[in-house]
């Protein structure tokens, strides 16, 4: 039996279908080139065309779709717990970047397959659904691909938007085309939102009101980042008794502020070590040059260079080792926040026991940082002067710093209790 979708297909949707058909070869050329550069095998590149590289497992198949690294990793704990609840179910997770694929491969839950998602064009999407035939499709955050949604619902797939989050800009864009927004949102059986603001926005955009339900920030539910204990022990021995602080997930324009801060801090803490973790490790050479230009001595992880007593900055320009760096030091400045980027996931350092310093540009995690700041587990700064004062305060007052770490961890623990409620809602609304 078909389910009402809450709206009718519009001329804009049909125009999108036509344009996507024309642009699909060009999109494939661009996507395939990026995958080749990342040394993704040809067979796996063709997954973007809807050509599966693995067989569909028998039985119930629950599909999760996420855009990239953060969204992908945030659902792994959910899949693990849902797998315990549904021991006969199989799981498929799709994500679009080689980085996310590599990290997911290391942490795949039982009975789970990873694939790249099809391009949002007629042929790739049809091939994808014909092969996988998922019972449910759970899209994470703001992944609204019209053909994937419309064809999925038409095929009888129960659809949910999990951890729903829409920027103000995105909301304004959709509201310019209310009939199309209502039609696209009408494909979903369920919306689980991060906050009340998103719930209100979805209803205002045309989502069926009774399908919009409060959720939680899924990233609070993900497991702690992995720690390489052998590496961690070796690093601790190299660092010794030196004080340390971490600047993590930094972007261009932020490293300059971090290094300016480090220079000021060295005047009060002459043996201080900075662990600098750029958001994109492939910027390592540029960041190393910036460190050298700033007059600091540097050891670089990707070059297997060890920390010596003279090392002032350790450049951690590798992938998948952030959990180890957080285990070494619980004093973390989290980047993507001094620029207009939106911030990054504060749950990762907090789960490692860290207190967090953030810039003001954390709008993608506003509800999380606001609550963490109010609880005392995070501090907001605006520039190098503020950042210097915040780091110096925690370096100089151990009891104050430990209280902040405890507050951050307590906040994460309260959020994690919502996982079972999320699973209950998904199973009930998606007929699992």
Q: Running DSSP on this structure, what letter comes out for residue 135? A: S
pLDDT at 212: 93
Distance CA 419, CA 82 (A): 10
The two structure tokens encoding residue 358: 């953030």
pLDDT score of 246 more than 60? yes
Which pLDDT tens digit goes with each residue over 335-367? 999 998 989 989 999 999 999 999 999 987 887
Of 85, 138, 92, 73, the closest CA to residue 423 belongs to 85
Q: Is residue 114 within 8 Å of residue 108, measured between CB atoms?
A: yes
Q: What is the model's pLDDT at position 5?
A: 63
Query: Is the pTM here over 0.85, yes or no?
Result: no
Is the predicted pLDDT of residue 72 greater than 80, yes or no?
Answer: no
Cα 161 to Cα 152: distance, rounded to the nearest angstrom: 13
Q: What pLDDT does 378 receive?
A: 96
Q: Based on C-alpha coordinates, what's the Rg of the chain?
A: 23
Q: How much is the pLDDT for 390? A: 97
Task: Report yes or no: 300 and 276 within 8 Å, Cβ to Cβ.
Answer: no
Per-residue pLDDT tens over the stretch 364-376? 788 789 889 999 9
Judge whether residue 1 has pLDDT over 70. Answer: no
**Token reading at 227:** 């720690």
| Backbone angles phi and psi of 248, in degrees to 5 | -115, 150
Least confident of 178-192, 209-223, 323-337: 209-223
Structure-block tokens of residue 146: 């019209």
Q: Residue 246: which H helix or E strand, with range?
A: strand 244-250
Q: Higher-confidence residue: 65 or 220?
A: 65
Give the pLDDT band of residue 147 (cuts 50, 70, 90).
very high
Closest CA to 355 of 374, 377, 371, 336: 377
- Which residues are 378's β-sheet partners? 356
Lowest mean pLDDT among 32-36, 169-173, 233-237: 169-173
How confident is the prediction for the chain on average, in pLDDT?
91
Q: What is the pLDDT of residue 334?
A: 97
* Structure confidence at residue 6 (pLDDT): 59
Say if CB 309 and CB 268 are below 8 A apart. no
Inform me whether the pLDDT recorded for 191 exceeds 50.
yes
| Burial (0-12, 13-18, 19+ Cβ within 10 Å), 91 | buried
Q: What is the largest CA-CA distance in the chain?
A: 71
Q: What pLDDT score does 356 carry? A: 97
- How far apart CA 340 and CA 255 sit, in angstroms, is 15
In angstroms, rounded to a whole number, what is the distance separating the alpha carbons of residues 398 and 339? Answer: 30
> 84-141, pLDDT tens digit by residue?
999 999 999 999 889 889 888 888 999 999 999 999 999 999 999 999 999 999 998 7
3-state DSSP assignment of residue 421: helix
Distances (CA, A) of 210 to 158, 160, 214, 358: 16, 13, 11, 36
Give the pLDDT score at 4.
60
């Amino acid at each position: 039996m078909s389910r009402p979708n809450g709206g009718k297909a519009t001329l804009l949707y049909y125009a999108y279908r036509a344009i996507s058909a024309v642009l699909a070869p060009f999109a494939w050329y661009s996507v395939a080139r990026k995958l080749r550069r990342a040394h993704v095998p040809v067979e796996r590149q063709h997954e973007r065309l809807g050509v599966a590289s693995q067989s569909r497992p028998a039985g119930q198949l629950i599909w999760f779709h996420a855009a990239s690294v953060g969204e992908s990793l945030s659902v792994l704990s959910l899949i693990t717990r849902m797998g315990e609840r549904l021991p006969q179910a199989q799981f498929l997770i799709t994500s679009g970047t080689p980085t996310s694929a590599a990290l997911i491969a290391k942490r795949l839950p039982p009975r789970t397959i990873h694939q790249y998602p099809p391009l949002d064009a007629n042929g790739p999407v049809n091939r994808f659904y014909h092969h996988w035939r998922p019972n449910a499709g759970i899209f994470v955050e703001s992944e609204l691909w019209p053909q994937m949604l419309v064809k999925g619902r038409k095929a009888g797939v129960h659809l949910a938007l999990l951890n729903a989050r829409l920027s103000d800009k995105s909301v304004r864009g959709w509201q310019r085309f209310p009939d199309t927004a209502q039609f696209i949102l009408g494909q979903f059986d369920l919306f689980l939102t991060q906050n009340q603001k998103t719930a209100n926005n979805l209803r205002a955009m045309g989502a069926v009101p009774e399908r919009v339900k409060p959720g939680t920030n899924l990233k609070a539910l993900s497991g702690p980042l992995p720690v390489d204990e052998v590496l961690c022990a070796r690093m601790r021995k190299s660092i010794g008794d030196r004080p340390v602080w971490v600047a993590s997930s930094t972007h261009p324009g932020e490293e300059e502020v971090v290094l300016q801060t480090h220079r000021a801090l060295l005047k009060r803490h002459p043996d201080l070590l900075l662990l600098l973790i750029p958001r994109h490790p492939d910027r390592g050479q540029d960041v190393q040059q910036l460190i050298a230009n700033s007059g600091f001595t540097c050891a670089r992880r990707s070059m297997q260079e060890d920390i010596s007593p003279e090392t002032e900055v350790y450049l951690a320009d590798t992938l998948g080792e952030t959990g180890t760096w957080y285990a070494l030091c619980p004093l973390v400045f989290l980047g993507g926040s001094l620029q207009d980027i939106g911030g990054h996931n504060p749950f990762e350092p907090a789960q490692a026991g860290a207190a967090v310093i953030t810039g003001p540009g954390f709008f993608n995690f506003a509800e999380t940082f606001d609550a963490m700041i109010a609880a005392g587990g995070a501090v907001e700064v605006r520039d190098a002067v503020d950042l210097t004062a915040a780091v110096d305060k925690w370096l100089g007052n151990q009891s104050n710093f430990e209280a902040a770490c405890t507050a951050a961890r307590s906040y994460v623990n309260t959020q994690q209790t919502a996982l079972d409620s999320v699973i209950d809602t998904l199973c009930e609304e998606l007929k699992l």
